[in-house]
Amino acid sequence: MGFLDKLFRKSKELDHMSNVKLAVVFYSMGGTNYQLAKWAAEGAEEAGAEVKVLKVQELAPQSAIEGNEVWKSTVDATKDIPVVSSEDIEWADAIIFSTPTRFGNMASQMKQFLDTQGGLWANGKTVNKVVSAMSSAQNPHGGQEATILSLYTSMMHWGAIIASPGYTDPVLFGAGGNPYGTSVTVDQNGKMIEDVEAAVKHQAKRTVTVAEWVKKGNQQ
């Protein structure tokens, strides 16, 4: 094998090593955060990441779900999405969380998942994961920012690196200008009021970019 062939092969190996592994972890009752998760996955894949879209385990009783047509349809629509596990978190270089607001906090289903990751945390497996978060609520001041911040508090305990969107692209203003993470308002018919697709994709690409910096720094 000639010098140029070896150099090309080494370059391809480094490219493969630098591919960011991203887990998009969501909880969705009405379908909004599932859609946000799908947009995030599309944006991350456009940035060259290897992506897994994963849901957290549903905790509500089946009777409650069956009595709500929107909730039931979301469960049906996401039935083939894998449930996130500790192994997925360990696999990932970066994680994007998407959760609806519950009284200004993340949904209990998301919180329960985070609370069961003590084993990973104790073994240092959550350190330097690059994380970002998104949220939704039924009115413009329904707790979206507080929800994202509540999740980031847990991430600080993880030793994770938070990649918030800030005001790094004009598309964020069209989505409402939330610097902590993309958030959206959902009307009484379950429709998103703001146009947030571009903001979600930008946030995903930014998360992948920061994860690339971290990953390449660790490889040097």
Q: What is the dihedral of CA 191, 192, 197, 199, to 10 degrees?
A: -170
Q: What is the DSSP annotation of 139-174?
A: STTSSHHHHHHHHHHHHHHHT-EE---TT-STHHHH
Distance between CA atoms of residues 88 and 199, nearest Å: 25
pLDDT-derived band at 189 (thresholds 50, 70, 90) equals confident
Give 176's DSSP letter: T
Contact call for residues 96 and 55 (beta carbons, < 8 A): no
Beta strands 94-102 and 105-106 are: antiparallel
pTM for the complete prediction? 0.90
What are the tens digits of pLDDT across the range 58-68? 999 999 998 88
Burial class (CB in 10 A: 0-12, 13-18, 19+), 132: buried
Residue that is written with structure tokens 């370059």 in the block? 11
Q: With 90 as the cut, is the pLDDT of residue 196 above it?
A: yes
- Let me know if domain 22-219 sits in CATH 3.40.50.360: yes
Structure tokens at 162: 């938070």
Dihedral pair phi/psi, residue 177, rounded to 5°: 75, 35
% of residues, the chain, pLDDT over 90 = 78
Residue 4 is predicted with a pLDDT of 52
Question: How would you label 35-63 residue by residue, b for 16+ Cβ within 10 Å and e otherwise?
Answer: bbbbbbbbbbbebebebbbbbbebeeeee
Structure tokens at 1: 């094998």
Region 30-56: what's the mean pLDDT?
A: 97
% of residues, the chain, pLDDT over 70 = 90
